Amino acid sequence: MPQFHFRGRDKTGRLLVGQRNADSADSLNLDLTREGIIVIEIKSESTKQPYQKRIRDWLQGDSFHLSELAVFSRQMKLLHRAGVPIITSLQQLSMHIRSNRLAYAIHGIIRQIEKGQSLANSMKQYSDIFSPLIISLIQIGENTGKLSEAFAHIERYLDFEVQTMKQVKAAFRYPIFIFSAVIVALLILNLFVIPTFATFYVSLNMPLPWQTRILISTSNFFVNYSLVLLAALLIAAILLYRYIHTERGKLRWDYFLLKIPFSGKMLRRIYLIRLCDSLSIVLSSGISLPQGLALTKDTIANTYITKQLVIMRANIERGVSFTQAIEKVDLMTTLETQILAVGERNGELAPAFDYIAHFHSEEIQYDIKRINDVVGPILIAIVAVLILIVALGIYLPVWNMIDLIKH
């Protein structure tokens, strides 16, 4: 069934933004009208590009964060443990959620439950918010009567994810700021500052030091060929974008990202944290390992790693043990494989995955410190060298001119 994105307003005038499966745009329009929603726009999933959706949500102030979903899961866990019915819990929470997308999804889930649908099946209508992993955990919780435990697992998973991403952003914030400042400074110097000095020095008709000649030549190149450089960069960016959106290009690009010094190692840790934490949760919930690998694959944004997971799952389904399957792929270190082998022998794979996830979470703290300790001084040294070169290039002719005047 096709999926459609829509915007509308309820009877109170509140903006509703969401997506729903329907036979056609007309049938969805009819359903929304029956629900008392004034439809503003309906677009098919195939005609709405992800970047357009993100820009629109940002302009509307309706960006969706995992932290909101984590809070929602925590509150649902507490309300369910207190014996509050699901529909009542959802109705209460929907009134205090800031995100229109999440609020609309909850309203839709309430309507589906009132029609006799289960909570998990109702969530499937909003796959842009609730991942297959979350839906599977809810489904198992409903079937086993342990829904509050399912929400607890989801809360833990989302909190872990949010904290990990905060750590990573903190690690790269300073280096990115310094690097951006260097690029902006170089552009300003080459396009505006140096040409002014160059005109003055050329008018003096005097021999210039080699540092000054290099600066002037570099500046002239940027000034004369700035449009050509901009066009070349734009074409290169478009070609790279198109290439990494092919199956082969995406695989190579994702593999390359894992091999970049400093950031590649941290990126691999992030994916291993996400993988191991997800597998720990799904195995603790009673999901089989092959099914857990399939669900976890959807949480990993790196095609190289997801390919390894697909190979692992295929080997396990052919009767190969988990330890043998993981040894055949480029995913874990020897020590991590041994930990998982012990967990498999003892029937405690879930705690083994949990241990590896927390180990890498702690190691990220050291990675962040190493990045700041190593990359920061390197960038500062580069800035210092650039300042020295520019200063010598600009002021050496002045000093030479002063010497000539004195003599």
* CA 302 – CA 329 distance, rounded (Å): 15
Confidence of residue 13 (pLDDT cuts 50, 70, 90): low
Residues 6+ apart with CB under 8 A from 6: 17, 18, 19, 20, 28, 32, 39, 40, 41, 42, 43
Average the pLDDT over 170-185 and give the result: 80
Task: Specify the higher pLDDT residue, 160 or 112.
Answer: 112
Q: How far is CA 253 from CA 2, 186, 261, 271, in A?
A: 31, 29, 15, 15
> What are the structural domain ranges in the chain?
3-59, 66-158, 185-407
* CA 245 – CA 239 distance, rounded (Å): 10
Average the pLDDT over 185-194 and give the result: 83
- The residues pairing with 44 across neighbouring beta strands, listed in sequence order, are 4
Confidence of residue 1 (pLDDT cuts 50, 70, 90): low
* CA 152 – CA 9 distance, rounded (Å): 33
Confidence of residue 49 (pLDDT cuts 50, 70, 90): very low
pLDDT at 235 over 90: yes
Average the pLDDT over 294-309 and give the result: 85
pLDDT, one tens digit per residue, over 250-283 is 999 999 999 988 778 888 888 888 889 888 888 8
Residues 6+ apart with CB under 8 A from 372: 171, 174, 175
Strands of 3-9's sheet, edge to edge? 15-21, 3-9, 38-44
Task: Enter the DSSP assignment of 37.
Answer: -
pLDDT, one tens digit per residue, over 312-324 is 999 999 988 888 9
* CA 174 – CA 155 distance, rounded (Å): 30
* CA 20 – CA 64 distance, rounded (Å): 17
The domain 3-59: what is its CATH number?
3.10.20
Instruction: Give the pLDDT of residue 170.
Output: 75
Instruction: Give the pLDDT of residue 263.
Output: 78
Q: What is the enclosing helix (H) or strand (E) of 243?
A: helix 226-244
Could you say which of 3.90.650.10, 1.20.81.30, 3.40.50.300, 3.30.450.20 is the CATH number of the domain covering 66-158? 1.20.81.30
Q: Which CATH superfamily is domain 185-407 in?
A: Type II secretion system (T2SS), domain F (1.20.81.30)
* CA 323 – CA 334 distance, rounded (Å): 11
pLDDT, one tens digit per residue, over 363-392 is 887 877 777 777 778 878 888 888 887 787
* CA 206 – CA 209 distance, rounded (Å): 10
Instruction: Give the pLDDT of residue 62.
Output: 44
pLDDT, one tens digit per residue, over 31-42 is 787 777 877 778
pLDDT at 212 over 90: no
* Domain pair 3-59 / 66-158, same fold: no
